[in-house]
Amino acid sequence: MGKNHYLEYIENEEFGSLPPETYVRGFVVSYAKCLHLDPAKTAADYMKRYQIWKSGER
């Protein structure tokens, strides 16, 4: 799938469909800025859930 689907994957927390972690963080920061949210807090909260998912997968 293309980049246009990443926002949908982020919103639905479809972590397995997302690109590598570094890109996910960047997308979340950019998305938070567009929504006038605190990018650091938003990314930290999202990446915490991502890490929980990632640790459960291994």
pTM, to two decimals: 0.85
| pLDDT at site 57 | 66
Q: What is the pLDDT of residues 8-33, one digit of tens each?
A: 999 999 999 999 999 999 999 999 99
Residue by residue, DSSP assigns 2-34 as: -GGGHHHHHHTT-GGGS--HHHHHHHHHHHHHH
Q: Supply 26's token pair.
A: 């960047």
The ranges assigned to domains in the chain are 3-57
pLDDT of residue 1 exceeding 60, the answer is no
| Mean pLDDT of all residues in 31-50 | 98
Q: What local confidence, expressed as pLDDT, does residue 4 receive? A: 73
